[in-house]
Amino acid sequence: MLKGKIAIVTGGTRGIGYAIVEKYLENHATVILCGSRQETADKAVAKLKEAHPGCPVEGIAPDLTDYASIKAAFDGVREKYGRIDILVNNAGMSSSDPLSAYTPELFHKVMSLNVDAVFYCIRAVYDAMEAQGSGCILNTSSMVSRYGQPKGVAYPTSKAAINGMTLSLARELGPRRISAAADVLQRFIGWCGYNTGVGHLAGALAAELTELR
Ligand SMILES: NC(=O)c1ccc[n+]([C@@H]2O[C@H](COP(=O)([O-])OP(=O)(O)OC[C@H]3O[C@@H](n4cnc5c(N)ncnc54)[C@H](OP(=O)(O)O)[C@@H]3O)[C@@H](O)[C@H]2O)c1
């Protein structure tokens, strides 16, 4: 049960993020989902409200490459709801180009969304969680962070960075009762294989991880 909890889910418009949002709503959390555009966020909210009439969900679209944009949006959430309990850093992108076609621009684009934005979002919720003396941060990693992949070098690089960021923050923030976990996708994919029913199982696991902490 997550009644009274305020959760922000990036990349909540579709796929795994959408399933996590649904799972949180089923567990009675209030959810603020983030999309890359306000239009996609609004569309996801409309779909959720149709499936779960009256559910407490809203959509925002901060620019995840810009710390100031994220901070302003998340401060708005804190101002409106008084707290931020859960942050799920789920937005991500990949590219499977071979090294011969991989440009520095593409490498930086993947790293910017998959790594920099995760740090920005965590930094932007930290003050609220610190003041509350509690919080839960879930970062979406991937099995390829451990095993690599034959093409698309930036993606496994970015997810390995997420593992390091999460382990470090778990150690730093644990004593402040703010938990950080990155095993959502790693654990889950070990169970059921790549891309098979990803959404709902990952959503269930995210809810479980959040409740445990
Ligand atoms: N699918 C898998 O099998 C798998 C496996 C391992 C790990 N993962 C990880 O799980 C997470 C979700 O994967 P998925 O397959 O569910 O993703 P997806 O279906 O491709 O959805 C991506 C989500 O990220 C948002 N997004 C994309 N680019 C963005 C940007 N520049 N700024 C803000 N938001 C942006 C999208 O929002 P809009 O709809 O508004 O554009 C969408 O909500 C990712 O971190 C991915 O790396 C996935």
47 CB under 6 A from ligand 1? no
According to DSSP, the residues that pair with 179 across neighbouring strands are 136
CATH 3.20.20.80 for the 6-211 domain, yes or no: no
Q: Is the pLDDT of residue 98 over 70?
A: yes
pLDDT in tens, 19-73: 999 999 999 999 999 999 999 999 999 999 999 999 999 999 999 999 999 999 9
114 CA from centroid of ligand 1 (Å): 9
pLDDT in tens, 175-195: 888 888 876 555 544 443 344
49 CA from centroid of ligand 1 (Å): 21
pLDDT at 213: 46
Distances (CA, A) of 132 to 11, 14, 103: 25, 30, 43
pLDDT in tens, 144-172: 998 899 999 999 999 999 999 998 898 89
pLDDT at 184: 53
Residue with the smallest CA separation from ligand 1 atom 32 is: 36
pLDDT-derived band at 211 (thresholds 50, 70, 90) equals: low
The mean pLDDT of 67-88, rounded to a whole number, is 97
Residue with the smallest CA separation from ligand 1 atom 30 is: 36
pLDDT in tens, 103-137: 999 999 999 999 999 999 999 999 999 999 999 99
Please state, in angstroms and rounded to a whole number, the distance separating the CA atoms of residues 83 and 191. 34
Ligand 1, from 57, 93, 157, 166: best to mutate by most atoms within 8 Å of Cβ? 93
Q: What's the token pair of residue 210?
A: 């959040």
**For the chain, give me the number of helices (H) and strands (E)?**
9, 6
41 CA from centroid of ligand 1 (Å): 13
195 CB under 6 A from ligand 1? yes
State the residue for tokens 């991937």: 142
Atom of ligand 1 nearest to the CA of 143: 6
131 CA from centroid of ligand 1 (Å): 30
Query: Taking the model in full, what pTM does it have?
Result: 0.93
Residue ranges of domains in the chain: 6-211
92 CA from centroid of ligand 1 (Å): 4
Q: Is 18 one of the annotated active-site residues of the chain?
A: no
Residue with the smallest CA separation from ligand 1 atom 25 is: 11
Residue 62: burial class (beta carbons within 10 Å; 0-12, 13-18, 19+): buried
Please state, in angstroms and rounded to a whole number, the distance separating the CA atoms of residues 112 and 33. 20
Please state, in angstroms and rounded to a whole number, the distance separating the CA atoms of residues 51 and 28. 14
Residue with the smallest CA separation from ligand 1 atom 34 is: 36
Q: Choose the catalytic residue: 18, 120, 126, 155.
A: 155
